[in-house]
Chain A
Amino acid sequence: MADRAAALAADLPLPSVRTPPTPAARWRRIAAKNPLGVLGTVLIALLVATAALAGLLAPFDPVAQIARRLTAPDGIYLLGTDEFGRDILSRIIFGTRISLYVGMVSVGIALGIGGTLGLIAGYFGGWIDNILMRLMDVMFSIPSLVLAIAITGILGPNLRNAMIAIGIVYTPTFARVARGPVLAVIQNEYIAAARTVGARDGRIIFRHVLPNVTAPIIVQTTLSLSTAILAEAVLSFLGLGTQPPEPSWGTMLGTGRKFMETAPWVAIFPGFAIMLAVLGFNLLGDGLRDALDPRLK
């Protein structure tokens, strides 16, 4: 799922430079036209709040084996308990932290490395572009999950390394997303003008190029946040992600699978949590995309 929607950049035009009315009014208009985007924003806000207040919200210690195993949801354990007798609600609440953390760190890595490489490749062009993008092709051509398995295998399976692996796997996507618009921007005459007056490359990139590629990058970032959560789920399912007993939605879903018929609550609720988070980030990403695309106004 690493590289989905990379091509979004290809069809996302550069926002034309025009003066908006007041920002608040503009966002209100956008929100009115885009109820799903609003829903996404609300979902993500709720997730962030849950993660921040996990300690207050969770009724129990998420790793303590406090109850009898596989208790069905009742008045005390609102979402039931798992095979170790741990409270599922508390685990989901604390799992929010891990999921958001994984999403932000791994996407941050991808954005930092990939975005920079894409900017450099697009701006300088020529052999630099060719070499960098072929390097990205190399990484693209190895199936993402296989790459992640190898990386976590070498670094050792734990949450930090899973985030590094996901970040590395997503890097080429960001490189491509960033490079596309840069290629278009540098065709503009004002860039050529800036170059002829002897402006330094760094200055041109920061002053003129970067502002024009933020829109596709923001969109890609929100979308990648959602897929990073899924990627962590799959890695944890394979035992290479979050280490037990830390609550990871992916691990909960993976181990809950075998109780699907006999104690369905073990897997259903974490599955639902993943779904809401992924849905939230996707709707937010789509909403931002529509909002930032001048042609769709």
Chain B
Amino acid sequence: MATEFRLTRRMFLERSMLLGAASALLVACQQGPTAPPKTEPKPTEAPKAPAPAAQPTAAPAAAKPAEAPPAATTAPAAQVKKGGSITIAQELDPVSLDPHKSSNFSAVQGFEHVYESLTQYDEKLNVQPALAERWDVSSDGTQYTFFLRKDVKWHDGKEFTAADVKYWHERMMAKETVAPYKNWFDMIERIEVVDKNTARAILGKPYPPLLATFAALRGGAIVQEGAAEKMNLATAAIGTGPWKLAEYVPQSHLKYAKNKDYWNKELPYLDEMTMKITVDEDARVAALRAGQVDYGFFSQEGADRLKPDKSITVVESPKAWLTVAQVNTSRKPFDDVRVRQALRLALDPKEIIQKAVSGAAAPSGPVPTGHTDWFIKPEDLKYQKPDYEKAKALLAEAGHPNLKFTILSSPQYPEFVSTALVMQDAFKKIGVDAEVQQLEWGTFVKQVNAPNFDYDVEITARTFYPDPDHYMFPYFHSKGVNNPNQSYANSKVDELLEKGRTVADPAQRHQAYFELQKVLEDELPHFWFYSGINIEAVRNYVKGYIPSFTGRRIFLKQTWLDR
């Protein structure tokens, strides 16, 4: 067993260091006797390149496939074959397509091709112009003036104007909307329509992440003025994006047609796109093999099954999927930092990664590994190796040698249950008796969320948030909305969180968030385990698709078919 773990660790270090060109490192890793060697993931159109040599750093830029196709606007027209249609196996059923009323990631996957925001992400998570072609920020950081593109038309032919932006904000803020991401935008007091093509956002206080928050498209999607009053946004959509929603049959499929009037005249390359809702992974594997779908999203097991197939390319890349154990600091003895440290010392993130997601993840701190340049590199993270003796000593010192508690998870996400089981087994080694309880999702969210906070330890995950602030402020600020009964309070943490919100200078913000993460690593109000790897697979003729750290499929608009 010792040998095994040493092996595992080495491979993990490899994996995390290289997380960069996520691909290369995966080649080197062998998971175990049963796992076939990893193939080399790459952007689907790139010529076979030799695996990059091990790089000591995981520079965020390198985290994106280096051979990424050129930006769409400059794509050599000769190379790209336009037209045709693609079928995508969609792994989740988007319950609603309303861009403001859903917290489900599946909803984003359904509407992200139809709607746009003022800004957008490129493949390296740089904020780029979208509906706003440029912007001015006042020197005090409280006024953003957006100069809107003049050539944008809604899918119904209407012209896009500043009034639409104003309408978006009003809808987001209305109580009746129950927008789950309202707090991402509620620092905007109002939107002023300066003229038809200029909108000004007036903020109560500076908020440096604002531009990125638009690009994240969670709550930031602009809908047409009056849209909610004249149509059902849950099932229909009129956007400005590269694709028009042509048909939506819940639990069956979504059909998109090319928006011929898209402001970026080059895009999209394809004429048509169908998302077949296929929640069962076996069905997705079978469908991709049979050529019924051209693209699918998979677990490590699914990818292992697909890799032997020569007509399929598996692409692996880091994605924001930060799995954490939230410790309820409003309950004794979890308010005691020594207890939290002791529990954390019993856990081995590498083992959790192996057993929960078959190795498809990298160790992570409070900001998911791979998130531009905001994260602590995996090799610099603390608490990556269990120390049972120290853990027992800490527990004894805190006066809780025989601790008992419950770990909550939901079978909605099997990897949460698996994580809980590994934790339970590890805690036995320090004499801690943890019970694992799984709850149906609705019950789970009711019980663990504000205002109930009824749990000892719960397992959950954070998807892509645009800024470190989103990963930390709500949870660790003494006034944070998701801080259990606002029990966790640390003046240093508060100070750094507030600094990150007010300082405009990127270098200073950067420094503040690194310092903050270092403090949190020892404070451990949460246990951060890993950030996931996006495993996507396409038929070989699918070209130009680039994975996104956001987990979204932003670049389907520049995907084309070579056949």
Contacts and interface: CB of A to CB of B under 8 A. Distances in A.
Direct contact of A and B (CB under 8 A): yes
Interface of A: 63-65, 67-72, 83-85, 152-153, 156-158, 238-240, 243-245, 255, 257-263
Interface of chain A, main secondary structure: loop
A3 B242 CA distance: 52
Contact of A259 (B301, B425, B440): B301
A156 B355 CA distance: 26
B507 interface: no
Nearest to A67: B1
The CB with the most chain A CB atoms within 10 A, among B282, B302, B412, B438, is that of B438
A257 B425 contact: no
A245 B436 contact: yes
B402 interface: no
A170 to B, nearest CB: 22
Contact of A84 (B299, B304, B421): B421
Contacts of A83: 355, 358, 418
Contacts of B410: 239
Interface centre among B358, B422, B440 (most CB of A within 10 A): B440
A53 B197 CA distance: 79
B231 interface: no
A245 B424 contact: yes
Q: What are the 5 tightest A-B residue pairs by CB atom distance, in nearest-first order?
A: A239-B411, A258-B301, A65-B425, A261-B305, A70-B34
Interface in B432-476: 436-440, 442-443
Given A70-B34, A258-B301, A263-B34, A244 B443 contact: no
A244 B281 contact: no
B305 A153 contact: no
B436 A262 contact: no
A240 B440 contact: yes
B4 interface: yes
B35 interface: yes
Contact of A157 (B34, B302, B418, B440): B440
B438 A262 contact: no
B440 A239 contact: yes
Nearest to A85: B355
B517 to A, nearest CB: 30
A68 B4 contact: yes
Nearest to A240: B440
Given A68-B1, A84-B422, A156-B439, 20 more contacts: A63-B425, A65-B425, A67-B1, A68-B4, A69-B354, A71-B33, A72-B33, A84-B421, A153-B443, A157-B438, A243-B436, A243-B438, A244-B417, A244-B421, A244-B436, A245-B424, A245-B425, A257-B282, A261-B304, A262-B34
A243 B354 contact: no
Nearest to A262: B304
A67 B355 CA distance: 12
Interface string B394-431: 00000000000000001110100110111011000000
Contacts of A67: 1
A153 to B, nearest CB: 5
Q: Which of A63, A71, A261 is the most central at the interface, judged by chain B CB atoms within 10 Å of its CB?
A: A261
B291 interface: no
A64 B355 CA distance: 13
A69 B417 contact: no
B250 interface: no
B19 to A, nearest CB: 22
B204 interface: no
Contact of B414 (A69, A243, A255): A255
Contacts of A72: 33-34
For B282, B412, B425, the residue with the greatest tally of chain A CB atoms inside 10 Å of its CB is B425
Contact of B299 (A157, A258, A260): A258
Q: Which of A71, A239, A243 has the most CB of B within 10 A?
A: A239
Given A83-B355, A84-B421, A255-B414, A68 B32 contact: yes
B302 A258 contact: yes
A84 B414 CA distance: 13
Nearest to A64: B425
8 contacts: A64-B425, A70-B32, A72-B34, A84-B355, A239-B412, A244-B436, A245-B424, A260-B282
Nearest to B426: A65
A67 B4 CA distance: 10
A239 B417 contact: yes
A243 B417 CA distance: 10
